[in-house]
Amino acid sequence: MIAIKLRPIGKKKQITYRIVVLPKKSKLVGEYIDDLGWYNPHTDKFSVDFDKAKKWIASGAQPTDTVHNILVTAKIIEGPKIRLQKKSKQTKQETSVQETPAQETPIAENPAENPA
């Protein structure tokens, strides 16, 4: 299976990425099949070759989550972005408590039927 991944290049504290096509289980430091563009996370700028990206996606290449979000921003892929950070456990518990409805006690319509 082929994947579209971010390949790190540059210095330690000034890292940038190349958007490349390579086999899914291969390491990022080896050779790659095709180069689609670049991404700089510090400035949030990127450049992607539209035609090459469309060709690889049509041939079955699966982008990683971050690359998918970049391609959605570049309007190469249509659809929503993928959430990269998971929700915390505390917010999950709060929403589950709010979603459970409170049990209602039945109220008799006729007050004579109610013994209390």
Reading across the β-sheet that carries 16-23, which strands appear in turn? 45-48, 34-40, 16-23, 2-9, 62-63
Q: What's the CATH code of the domain at 34?
A: 3.30.1320.10
Kindly state whether residue 62 falls inside one of the protein's structural domains: yes
Helix then strand count (H, E) for the chain reads 3, 5
Residue 116, pLDDT > 60, answer no
For residue 10, the enclosing domain spans 2-84
Kindly state whether residue 39 falls inside one of the protein's structural domains: yes
Kindly state whether residue 100 falls inside one of the protein's structural domains: no
Chain Cα centroid distance, residue 113: 59
What is the tally of structural domains in the chain?
1
CB 35 within 8 A of CB 59: no
Query: 13-26, pLDDT tens digit by residue?
Result: 999 999 999 999 98
Kindly state whether residue 19 falls inside one of the protein's structural domains: yes
pTM for this entry:
0.69
92 phi, psi to nearest 5 deg: -65, -40
Kindly state whether residue 61 falls inside one of the protein's structural domains: yes
Kindly state whether residue 74 falls inside one of the protein's structural domains: yes
